[in-house]
Amino acid sequence: MNCILLSLCLFFNKPNAYSGDQKRESMNVNGIERAYVRYIPEMTDKKDIKMPMVISLHGGFATPKGQFHLADFRPLADRDKFIVVCPASKHIWHDGRNNKGIDDVKFIDQLITYMVKTYHADPERVYVTGISNGGFMTSRLACQLSNRIAAIAVVAGSMNENEGYAPVKPMPVIYMHGTKDPVFSNKGGKFFGRLTYSQDQAIKLWAKIDKCSSTPVVSNLPDNANDGTSIVKEEYSNPNNGVKVVGYTINNGGHTWPGGWQYLPKFIVGKTTKNLDACQVIWDFFKQYKLN
């Protein structure tokens, strides 16, 4: 259902009113053409400057163009000088098993290599975020490409259980999910035939891997929007290395990007909270970290 909803609405993009260079490109992965849209902020002197990179994954059956609209990191990229890349799935994100040779882990791995070599992305500061199906793929990449990714953020998604992958290396992570998501419940359970972790289970799993304190610091974010939503933040931390695992529970929030576009009516996908700017929060979190 989420695949169809996002494909219907995340098609058109805002007019490009940004100063950077946005372009669609493609590469060959296992004999299959794979596309992506990259945005590079304007620099006065680009020579030998390594910029951080945020890879932003769209939901199932959506597009990079739509992801730029829904989760628009470009104003932050212009200000703080980092690259944004929105890759395109083949309808949905795959892991390479029984998917006619489509290996999205290899695609993202190859994409990182290309962006580092061609556009001087900083290999120590590569970050991944995604929504829905793209959020699940983000979790997978955190497990399987932990040697290349410095931090992740998952919106309206989680992790699959018993899928042959699991966290093996400490990773700073964020999970954001609405309590009234009509597409994928923050309580987990079966989703398209697969067992999934709840948001709470995913956060605790990462907190254990990251050797964080067993008790989180819990806080309520200010209700400035008065839009019927409220946000509870849970933060686990490892005092020895500064790694954090953070959960944002969006009370009355839907299958949406916090602070983003209400891409479908509330009665279909739920509310988009305005009490949290996900792009800002995610970038502020990401920029604290780099690969050791």
| Chain segment 65-108, per-residue pLDDT in tens | 999 999 999 999 999 999 999 999 999 998 655 677 899 999 99
8 Å CB contact between 67 and 10: yes
> In this predicted structure, what is the pLDDT of residue 216?
97
Contact 51, 81 (CB under 8 A): yes
pTM of the model: 0.93
DSSP-assigned letter for residue 100? T
Placement of tokens 């018993």 in the chain: 162
CATH number of 2-286: 3.40.50.1820
Q: Domain residues of the chain, as ranges?
A: 2-286
Between CA 116 and CA 110 the distance in angstroms is: 10
Please name which of 262, 281, 270 lies closest in space to residue 185, comparing C-alpha atoms. Answer: 270
The amino acid at 137:
M
Per-residue confidence band for 14, with pLDDT thresholds at 50, 70 and 90: very low
pLDDT in tens, 110-126: 999 999 999 999 999 99
The pairing of strands 83-87 and 151-155 is unpaired
Q: pLDDT at position 94, please?
A: 86
Helix 104-119, helix 133-144: angle, nearest 10: 70
| Among the listed residues 107, 37, 53, the one whose alpha carbon sits nearest the alpha carbon of residue 291 | 53
* C-alpha closest to that of 92 among 127, 144, 57: 57
pLDDT tens track for 228-261 = 999 999 999 999 999 999 999 999 999 999 999 9
pLDDT bucket at 15, cuts 50 / 70 / 90: very low
47: confidence class by pLDDT, cuts 50, 70, 90? low
